[in-house]
Amino acid sequence: MSACSARVVPIALAAVLAVAVWALPGAAQARTVYRCVRDGTVSLATAPEPGSRCEPREIADDAVKLPNLWGEMGVINGSLYERQQDGKTVYSTRKLPGSVRVMGFTVETPPGEPAHTGLGKVGKPQTDKFTGQFRAAAKANGLDDAWLRAIAHAESGFDAKAVSSKGAQGVMQLMPETAKEYGVVDPFSSAESIAAGARHLKSLMRRYKGDLVLAAAAYNAGIGTVTRYGGVPPYRETQDYIAKVQALHQLYRLALGTGTPALRAAQ
């Protein structure tokens, strides 16, 4: 590694990991860090990653407090990789084709960026909301109507126009890429959102062999996150979300006259 590269790496590491800053001599500068998401996993990079959905974030070299770009992910053990992209040397915490590992890192991410926040309170069951649409979507996908309603209740409170701080939309709070995957044209159409949400939940139920807890965890935090942790991730928001959905499921089962389900506790 050249002397020039040796100086660039810690600068990139600071930006990519958002843990510390090694400022270059001279006037303070702002650097662009890309927060990239693919298959439910987050990486940070100095250039947009091919195949990922990346958002640029500006970080000043002289920033007193650096932003948490990772989200609430507990302790992360990872590696910083170097590769050539479009004739330039770029750095990323995701191993992509042509990457060379530069160094390892451990960072403890602070709280403050939940996956889906859902609602703060459980509240009473609302069986009069989009009754026919929930019944039809549940039947078409072999789901429990009460569980589908519980997810919608926790996600949006049945608000068809709801938009989360992270961009999830509609009754079922689908992220744009998920909505597109299921052919949603209007994410604020209750019928389209409920139908797509039910299909997504059916896919999760198939993946997790009918385990409602893991399906709810993946709906909240993403399939990639559940895979990474081998089960329910250690996110307070996700664990609270699962507990909320479980409570709502039982309330809707009672309200709809279908009994009380026996669900295992989140591990």
CATH number of the CATH domain containing 169: 1.10.530.10
3-state secondary structure of 229: helix
The CA distance from 29 to 204, in Å, is: 45
The CA distance from 117 to 155, in Å, is: 8
Amino acid letter for position 176: P
Band (pLDDT 50/70/90 cuts) for residue 243 is confident
The CA distance from 218 to 20, in Å, is: 32
Higher pLDDT, 266 or 36: 36
The CA distance from 30 to 59, in Å, is: 5
Domain identity same for 82 and 140: no
Segment 228-247 mean pLDDT: 86
Residues acting as catalytic residues: 155
Question: How much is the pLDDT for 5?
Answer: 33
* Residue 112 · residue 207 · CB < 8 Å: no
Band (pLDDT 50/70/90 cuts) for residue 107 is low
Domain identity same for 157 and 248: yes
Give yes or no for residue 122 having a pLDDT over 80. Answer: no
Domain identity same for 104 and 141: no
| Lowest mean pLDDT across 22-36, 98-112, 118-132 | 22-36
Question: How much is the pLDDT for 140?
Answer: 96
Give yes or no for residue 31 having a pLDDT over 90. Answer: no
Q: Which two tokens stand for residue 67?
A: 């932003």
Amino acid letter for position 237: E
Give yes or no for residue 7 having a pLDDT over 80. Answer: no
Sheet holding 53-60, edge to edge: 53-60, 30-38, 41-45, 88-92, 75-85, 100-108
Domain identity same for 72 and 30: yes
180 lies in which domain range? 131-255
Q: Is residue 265 domain-resident?
A: no
- What is the DSSP-derived secondary structure letter of residue 174? B
* Residue 100 · residue 89 · CB < 8 Å: no
Q: Is residue 83 domain-resident?
A: yes
Cα dihedral 199, 205, 206, 209, rounded to 10, equals: -170
120 closest CA partner among 153, 97, 162? 153
Indicate whether this model's pTM tops 0.75.
no
Q: Is residue 122 domain-resident?
A: no
The CA distance from 36 to 2, in Å, is: 28
Domain count, the chain: 2
3-state secondary structure of 224: helix
Distance spanning both ends of the chain, measured CA to CA: 45
Q: Which range scores top for mean pLDDT: 46-55, 188-197, 223-232?
A: 188-197
Which of 40, 73, 108 lies at the terminal end of a domain, its last residue? 108
Segment 83-90 mean pLDDT: 88
Amino acid letter for position 37: V
